[in-house]
Amino acid sequence: MSASTAALQRVGQSLWLDNITRGMLDDGTLARYIRDLHVTGLTSNPSIYNAAVKDTSFYDGALAALGARGLAAEEAFFEIAIQDLQRAADLFRPVYDRTSGIDGWVSLEVSPRLAYDTAATLAQAKALHARAGRPNLFIKIPGTPEGLPAIQEAIFAGVPVNVTLLFTREQYLAAAEAYLRGIERRIEAGLSPRVCSVASLFISRWDGATAKTLPPELVNRLGIAVGELSYQAYRDLLASDRFERLCNFGAVPQRLLFASTGTKDPKASESLYIDALAAPNSINTMPEKTLHAFAEGGRVAATLSAGGGLADSTIFAIERAGVDVAALGAKLQKDGAEAFVKSWDELLGVIEAKSRVVAGG
Protein backbone atom coordinates (compact mmCIF):
# COMPACT_ATOMS: atom_id res chain seq x y z
CA MET A 1 0.00 0.00 0.00
CA SER A 2 1.25 3.48 -0.84
CA ALA A 3 1.11 6.24 1.78
CA SER A 4 1.25 8.88 -0.98
CA THR A 5 -1.74 7.59 -2.91
CA ALA A 6 -3.64 7.08 0.35
CA ALA A 7 -2.95 10.73 1.24
CA LEU A 8 -4.31 11.86 -2.13
CA GLN A 9 -7.44 9.85 -1.53
CA ARG A 10 -7.88 11.43 1.91
CA VAL A 11 -7.72 14.89 0.30
CA GLY A 12 -10.78 13.87 -1.69
CA GLN A 13 -9.14 13.47 -5.10
CA SER A 14 -9.67 10.33 -7.16
CA LEU A 15 -6.56 8.77 -8.68
CA TRP A 16 -7.16 7.29 -12.13
CA LEU A 17 -4.77 5.53 -14.48
CA ASP A 18 -4.26 7.03 -17.94
CA ASN A 19 -3.53 3.71 -19.61
CA ILE A 20 -4.98 0.33 -20.45
CA THR A 21 -3.63 -2.77 -22.17
CA ARG A 22 -4.93 -6.30 -22.35
CA GLY A 23 -1.68 -7.36 -20.69
CA MET A 24 -2.39 -5.48 -17.47
CA LEU A 25 -5.84 -7.04 -17.39
CA ASP A 26 -4.55 -10.57 -18.00
CA ASP A 27 -1.64 -10.50 -15.55
CA GLY A 28 -3.48 -8.80 -12.69
CA THR A 29 -1.58 -5.50 -12.84
CA LEU A 30 -4.72 -3.36 -12.93
CA ALA A 31 -6.26 -5.34 -10.07
CA ARG A 32 -3.07 -4.76 -8.06
CA TYR A 33 -3.18 -1.01 -8.77
CA ILE A 34 -6.73 -0.95 -7.47
CA ARG A 35 -5.80 -2.90 -4.37
CA ASP A 36 -2.42 -1.36 -3.50
CA LEU A 37 -2.27 2.09 -5.12
CA HIS A 38 -5.83 3.34 -4.58
CA VAL A 39 -6.59 3.58 -8.32
CA THR A 40 -10.34 4.08 -8.73
CA GLY A 41 -10.78 4.57 -12.49
CA LEU A 42 -8.97 4.80 -15.80
CA THR A 43 -8.92 6.68 -19.10
CA SER A 44 -7.91 5.60 -22.58
CA ASN A 45 -7.30 7.39 -25.88
CA PRO A 46 -6.15 6.59 -29.43
CA SER A 47 -2.47 7.22 -28.57
CA ILE A 48 -2.59 4.69 -25.73
CA TYR A 49 -4.14 2.02 -27.94
CA ASN A 50 -1.83 2.83 -30.83
CA ALA A 51 1.19 2.03 -28.64
CA ALA A 52 -0.45 -1.05 -27.09
CA VAL A 53 -1.38 -2.64 -30.42
CA LYS A 54 1.84 -1.67 -32.18
CA ASP A 55 4.37 -2.52 -29.48
CA THR A 56 2.93 -5.67 -27.90
CA SER A 57 1.50 -9.02 -28.97
CA PHE A 58 -1.47 -8.76 -26.60
CA TYR A 59 -3.94 -8.25 -29.43
CA ASP A 60 -2.52 -10.54 -32.12
CA GLY A 61 -4.91 -13.41 -31.45
CA ALA A 62 -7.94 -11.15 -31.27
CA LEU A 63 -6.95 -9.35 -34.48
CA ALA A 64 -6.57 -12.67 -36.29
CA ALA A 65 -10.08 -13.70 -35.25
CA LEU A 66 -11.57 -10.32 -36.13
CA GLY A 67 -9.77 -10.28 -39.47
CA ALA A 68 -11.18 -13.70 -40.26
CA ARG A 69 -14.64 -12.22 -39.71
CA GLY A 70 -13.86 -9.53 -42.28
CA LEU A 71 -14.08 -6.59 -39.87
CA ALA A 72 -12.66 -3.26 -41.02
CA ALA A 73 -9.90 -1.71 -38.90
CA GLU A 74 -12.13 0.79 -37.07
CA GLU A 75 -14.70 -1.84 -36.20
CA ALA A 76 -11.91 -4.19 -35.07
CA PHE A 77 -10.52 -1.47 -32.82
CA PHE A 78 -13.83 -0.78 -31.12
CA GLU A 79 -14.30 -4.53 -30.65
CA ILE A 80 -11.00 -5.00 -28.79
CA ALA A 81 -11.28 -1.71 -26.89
CA ILE A 82 -14.80 -2.45 -25.68
CA GLN A 83 -13.72 -5.93 -24.57
CA ASP A 84 -10.86 -4.41 -22.54
CA LEU A 85 -12.95 -1.63 -21.06
CA GLN A 86 -15.79 -3.96 -20.12
CA ARG A 87 -13.29 -6.02 -18.11
CA ALA A 88 -11.81 -2.88 -16.52
CA ALA A 89 -15.28 -1.50 -15.75
CA ASP A 90 -16.11 -4.75 -13.96
CA LEU A 91 -12.95 -4.43 -11.83
CA PHE A 92 -14.00 -0.89 -10.86
CA ARG A 93 -17.66 -1.80 -10.33
CA PRO A 94 -17.27 -2.16 -6.51
CA VAL A 95 -15.92 1.43 -6.40
CA TYR A 96 -18.78 2.62 -8.61
CA ASP A 97 -21.35 0.93 -6.36
CA ARG A 98 -19.70 2.10 -3.12
CA THR A 99 -19.65 5.74 -4.27
CA SER A 100 -23.14 5.65 -5.82
CA GLY A 101 -21.70 6.20 -9.28
CA ILE A 102 -19.42 9.13 -8.47
CA ASP A 103 -16.21 7.14 -8.97
CA GLY A 104 -15.10 3.87 -10.55
CA TRP A 105 -15.30 4.85 -14.24
CA VAL A 106 -13.51 3.90 -17.46
CA SER A 107 -13.55 5.91 -20.71
CA LEU A 108 -13.85 5.08 -24.41
CA GLU A 109 -13.28 7.76 -27.05
CA VAL A 110 -15.33 8.34 -30.17
CA SER A 111 -13.35 8.48 -33.40
CA PRO A 112 -11.15 11.61 -33.32
CA ARG A 113 -12.06 12.12 -36.96
CA LEU A 114 -15.50 13.20 -35.75
CA ALA A 115 -14.19 16.05 -33.56
CA TYR A 116 -15.73 18.67 -35.88
CA ASP A 117 -18.89 16.74 -36.82
CA THR A 118 -21.61 17.19 -34.22
CA ALA A 119 -24.20 14.78 -35.62
CA ALA A 120 -21.75 11.94 -36.29
CA THR A 121 -20.16 12.36 -32.84
CA LEU A 122 -23.55 12.08 -31.13
CA ALA A 123 -24.58 9.05 -33.17
CA GLN A 124 -21.35 7.19 -32.41
CA ALA A 125 -21.45 8.13 -28.71
CA LYS A 126 -24.93 6.65 -28.33
CA ALA A 127 -24.01 3.50 -30.25
CA LEU A 128 -20.78 2.84 -28.36
CA HIS A 129 -22.34 3.34 -24.94
CA ALA A 130 -25.20 0.98 -25.75
CA ARG A 131 -22.78 -1.57 -27.16
CA ALA A 132 -20.48 -1.52 -24.12
CA GLY A 133 -23.36 -2.24 -21.77
CA ARG A 134 -21.65 -0.98 -18.62
CA PRO A 135 -23.10 1.79 -16.41
CA ASN A 136 -19.60 2.97 -15.41
CA LEU A 137 -18.27 3.64 -18.91
CA PHE A 138 -17.86 7.20 -20.10
CA ILE A 139 -17.86 8.12 -23.76
CA LYS A 140 -15.13 10.68 -24.46
CA ILE A 141 -16.22 13.59 -26.66
CA PRO A 142 -13.85 16.49 -27.48
CA GLY A 143 -14.82 19.85 -26.02
CA THR A 144 -14.31 21.59 -29.36
CA PRO A 145 -16.94 24.14 -30.46
CA GLU A 146 -18.47 21.47 -32.70
CA GLY A 147 -18.31 18.89 -29.90
CA LEU A 148 -20.23 21.01 -27.38
CA PRO A 149 -23.69 20.51 -28.96
CA ALA A 150 -23.00 16.76 -29.13
CA ILE A 151 -22.08 16.79 -25.43
CA GLN A 152 -25.34 18.51 -24.52
CA GLU A 153 -27.37 16.11 -26.65
CA ALA A 154 -25.53 13.06 -25.30
CA ILE A 155 -26.21 14.14 -21.70
CA PHE A 156 -29.85 14.77 -22.58
CA ALA A 157 -29.96 11.25 -24.07
CA GLY A 158 -28.57 9.80 -20.81
CA VAL A 159 -25.09 8.98 -22.13
CA PRO A 160 -22.33 9.61 -19.53
CA VAL A 161 -19.64 11.82 -21.08
CA ASN A 162 -15.97 12.48 -20.42
CA VAL A 163 -15.37 15.85 -22.10
CA THR A 164 -11.80 15.74 -23.40
CA LEU A 165 -9.32 18.16 -24.98
CA LEU A 166 -10.02 21.08 -22.63
CA PHE A 167 -7.12 23.45 -22.04
CA THR A 168 -8.43 26.76 -20.71
CA ARG A 169 -10.81 27.89 -18.00
CA GLU A 170 -13.10 29.24 -20.72
CA GLN A 171 -13.12 25.91 -22.57
CA TYR A 172 -13.91 24.15 -19.29
CA LEU A 173 -16.80 26.55 -18.58
CA ALA A 174 -18.20 25.96 -22.08
CA ALA A 175 -18.13 22.21 -21.43
CA ALA A 176 -19.81 22.74 -18.06
CA GLU A 177 -22.52 24.83 -19.75
CA ALA A 178 -23.20 22.02 -22.23
CA TYR A 179 -23.50 19.55 -19.36
CA LEU A 180 -25.77 21.79 -17.27
CA ARG A 181 -28.04 22.54 -20.20
CA GLY A 182 -28.36 18.82 -20.94
CA ILE A 183 -29.35 18.17 -17.33
CA GLU A 184 -31.82 21.08 -17.31
CA ARG A 185 -33.47 19.72 -20.44
CA ARG A 186 -33.81 16.29 -18.80
CA ILE A 187 -35.54 17.85 -15.81
CA GLU A 188 -37.86 19.82 -18.12
CA ALA A 189 -38.70 16.55 -19.89
CA GLY A 190 -39.44 14.72 -16.62
CA LEU A 191 -36.30 12.54 -16.86
CA SER A 192 -33.80 11.69 -14.15
CA PRO A 193 -31.07 14.35 -13.89
CA ARG A 194 -28.54 11.82 -12.63
CA VAL A 195 -26.26 11.53 -15.67
CA CYS A 196 -22.58 11.55 -14.72
CA SER A 197 -19.84 13.46 -16.51
CA VAL A 198 -16.26 14.64 -16.07
CA ALA A 199 -14.47 17.55 -17.74
CA SER A 200 -10.85 16.72 -18.60
CA LEU A 201 -8.43 19.66 -18.41
CA PHE A 202 -5.06 19.00 -20.03
CA ILE A 203 -2.14 20.33 -17.98
CA SER A 204 1.39 19.41 -19.10
CA ARG A 205 1.06 20.49 -22.74
CA TRP A 206 0.98 24.13 -21.61
CA ASP A 207 4.48 23.79 -20.22
CA GLY A 208 5.77 21.74 -23.12
CA ALA A 209 4.66 24.52 -25.47
CA THR A 210 6.31 27.35 -23.49
CA ALA A 211 9.45 25.78 -22.02
CA LYS A 212 11.77 27.32 -24.62
CA THR A 213 10.26 30.81 -24.56
CA LEU A 214 9.83 31.56 -20.85
CA PRO A 215 12.53 32.65 -18.37
CA PRO A 216 13.65 29.83 -16.03
CA GLU A 217 11.64 31.08 -13.07
CA LEU A 218 8.38 30.72 -15.04
CA VAL A 219 9.06 27.34 -16.67
CA ASN A 220 6.63 24.55 -15.66
CA ARG A 221 4.28 26.99 -13.92
CA LEU A 222 1.67 27.75 -16.59
CA GLY A 223 -0.08 24.35 -16.56
CA ILE A 224 -0.49 24.46 -12.79
CA ALA A 225 -1.77 28.06 -12.92
CA VAL A 226 -4.40 27.15 -15.53
CA GLY A 227 -5.37 24.15 -13.39
CA GLU A 228 -5.79 26.41 -10.35
CA LEU A 229 -7.93 28.95 -12.22
CA SER A 230 -10.12 26.20 -13.67
CA TYR A 231 -10.55 24.59 -10.27
CA GLN A 232 -11.68 27.94 -8.84
CA ALA A 233 -14.23 28.24 -11.66
CA TYR A 234 -15.38 24.67 -10.98
CA ARG A 235 -15.90 25.32 -7.28
CA ASP A 236 -17.69 28.59 -8.03
CA LEU A 237 -20.04 26.74 -10.35
CA LEU A 238 -20.79 24.09 -7.72
CA ALA A 239 -21.68 26.87 -5.26
CA SER A 240 -23.91 28.71 -7.74
CA ASP A 241 -27.68 29.07 -7.37
CA ARG A 242 -28.09 27.42 -10.75
CA PHE A 243 -26.34 24.21 -9.72
CA GLU A 244 -27.94 24.20 -6.29
CA ARG A 245 -31.36 24.19 -7.96
CA LEU A 246 -30.34 21.21 -10.08
CA CYS A 247 -29.11 19.41 -6.97
CA ASN A 248 -32.59 19.78 -5.54
CA PHE A 249 -33.82 17.59 -8.40
CA GLY A 250 -31.05 15.03 -7.82
CA ALA A 251 -28.30 16.20 -10.21
CA VAL A 252 -24.64 15.37 -9.52
CA PRO A 253 -21.58 17.51 -10.33
CA GLN A 254 -19.67 17.19 -13.56
CA ARG A 255 -16.34 16.56 -11.84
CA LEU A 256 -13.17 18.35 -12.92
CA LEU A 257 -10.46 15.95 -14.08
CA PHE A 258 -6.80 16.91 -14.42
CA ALA A 259 -5.39 15.07 -17.45
CA SER A 260 -2.02 15.00 -19.21
CA THR A 261 -0.28 15.08 -15.84
CA GLY A 262 2.93 13.29 -16.76
CA THR A 263 5.80 15.80 -16.81
CA LYS A 264 7.44 16.56 -20.15
CA ASP A 265 10.54 18.18 -18.62
CA PRO A 266 13.15 15.56 -17.61
CA LYS A 267 14.56 18.01 -15.05
CA ALA A 268 11.22 18.33 -13.23
CA SER A 269 9.77 15.96 -10.66
CA GLU A 270 7.80 13.16 -12.28
CA SER A 271 4.97 13.85 -9.84
CA LEU A 272 5.04 17.66 -10.24
CA TYR A 273 1.43 17.99 -11.36
CA ILE A 274 0.12 15.45 -8.86
CA ASP A 275 1.73 17.20 -5.90
CA ALA A 276 0.57 20.64 -7.09
CA LEU A 277 -3.02 19.85 -8.10
CA ALA A 278 -4.32 17.83 -5.16
CA ALA A 279 -7.86 19.12 -4.72
CA PRO A 280 -11.11 17.93 -3.10
CA ASN A 281 -13.88 16.58 -5.34
CA SER A 282 -11.64 16.24 -8.40
CA ILE A 283 -9.78 13.57 -10.36
CA ASN A 284 -6.19 13.22 -11.54
CA THR A 285 -5.58 10.67 -14.30
CA MET A 286 -1.90 9.83 -14.76
CA PRO A 287 0.38 7.59 -16.84
CA GLU A 288 1.84 4.47 -15.22
CA LYS A 289 5.28 6.04 -14.90
CA THR A 290 3.80 8.99 -13.01
CA LEU A 291 1.66 6.71 -10.86
CA HIS A 292 4.71 4.76 -9.74
CA ALA A 293 6.76 7.90 -9.13
CA PHE A 294 4.02 9.45 -7.01
CA ALA A 295 3.33 6.22 -5.13
CA GLU A 296 7.01 5.89 -4.23
CA GLY A 297 7.89 9.49 -3.38
CA GLY A 298 5.02 11.90 -3.95
CA ARG A 299 3.75 14.20 -1.26
CA VAL A 300 0.57 16.13 -0.70
CA ALA A 301 1.93 19.20 1.05
CA ALA A 302 -1.09 21.42 0.38
CA THR A 303 -4.39 21.33 -1.44
CA LEU A 304 -5.98 23.71 -3.88
CA SER A 305 -8.63 25.94 -2.36
CA ALA A 306 -11.77 27.33 -3.91
CA GLY A 307 -10.76 30.94 -3.77
CA GLY A 308 -7.19 31.95 -4.12
CA GLY A 309 -3.62 31.11 -4.92
CA LEU A 310 -1.00 32.63 -7.16
CA ALA A 311 -2.56 31.63 -10.48
CA ASP A 312 -3.57 35.13 -11.61
CA SER A 313 -0.18 36.66 -10.84
CA THR A 314 1.60 33.73 -12.52
CA ILE A 315 -0.39 34.11 -15.72
CA PHE A 316 0.11 37.88 -15.63
CA ALA A 317 3.89 37.35 -15.45
CA ILE A 318 3.80 34.77 -18.24
CA GLU A 319 1.82 37.08 -20.51
CA ARG A 320 4.27 39.91 -19.77
CA ALA A 321 7.00 37.51 -20.89
CA GLY A 322 5.33 37.34 -24.30
CA VAL A 323 2.91 34.40 -24.16
CA ASP A 324 -0.65 35.01 -25.39
CA VAL A 325 -2.33 32.50 -23.09
CA ALA A 326 -5.77 32.64 -24.72
CA ALA A 327 -4.36 32.14 -28.22
CA LEU A 328 -2.11 29.34 -27.00
CA GLY A 329 -5.08 27.59 -25.39
CA ALA A 330 -7.00 27.62 -28.67
CA LYS A 331 -3.93 26.33 -30.51
CA LEU A 332 -3.37 23.53 -27.99
CA GLN A 333 -6.95 22.33 -28.43
CA LYS A 334 -6.63 22.38 -32.22
CA ASP A 335 -3.22 20.67 -32.12
CA GLY A 336 -4.52 18.09 -29.64
CA ALA A 337 -7.42 17.18 -31.90
CA GLU A 338 -5.03 16.82 -34.85
CA ALA A 339 -2.61 14.70 -32.81
CA PHE A 340 -5.40 12.32 -31.84
CA VAL A 341 -6.42 12.02 -35.51
CA LYS A 342 -2.81 11.18 -36.38
CA SER A 343 -2.64 8.53 -33.65
CA TRP A 344 -6.03 7.20 -34.77
CA ASP A 345 -4.92 6.85 -38.38
CA GLU A 346 -1.67 5.18 -37.26
CA LEU A 347 -3.65 2.83 -35.01
CA LEU A 348 -5.98 1.77 -37.82
CA GLY A 349 -2.96 1.26 -40.09
CA VAL A 350 -1.27 -0.92 -37.46
CA ILE A 351 -4.46 -2.95 -37.01
CA GLU A 352 -4.73 -3.52 -40.75
CA ALA A 353 -1.07 -4.52 -41.04
CA LYS A 354 -1.12 -6.78 -37.98
CA SER A 355 -4.34 -8.42 -39.06
CA ARG A 356 -2.73 -9.38 -42.37
CA VAL A 357 0.41 -10.68 -40.68
CA VAL A 358 -1.28 -12.75 -37.99
CA ALA A 359 -3.83 -14.08 -40.46
CA GLY A 360 -1.03 -15.31 -42.68
CA GLY A 361 1.22 -16.43 -39.87
Under 8 Å between Cβ of 227 and 277: yes
Under 8 Å between Cβ of 263 and 200: no
First and final C-alpha spacing in the chain: 43
Separation CA 346–CA 340 (nearest Å):
10
Q: Which residues pair with 13 in a beta bridge?
A: 282
Phi then psi dihedrals of residue 282, to 5 deg: -145, 180
User: In angstroms, what CA-CA distances link 243 with 87, 198, 269?
Assistant: 34, 15, 37
Under 8 Å between Cβ of 273 and 261: yes
Separation CA 76–CA 348 (nearest Å):
9
Residue 216 makes CB contacts below 8 A (sequence gap 6+) with: none
Question: Among positive and negative, which fits the CA dihedral 270, 271, 276, 277?
Answer: positive
Under 8 Å between Cβ of 123 and 102: no
Under 8 Å between Cβ of 160 and 183: no
DSSP assignment of 305-345, as one string?
-SS-SSHHHHHHHHHHTT--HHHHHHHHHHHHHHHHHHHHH
Q: Does residue 54 carry a catalytic annotation?
A: no
Under 8 Å between Cβ of 80 and 58: no
- Out of 54, 126, 140, 331, the active site residue is 140
Active site residues: 140
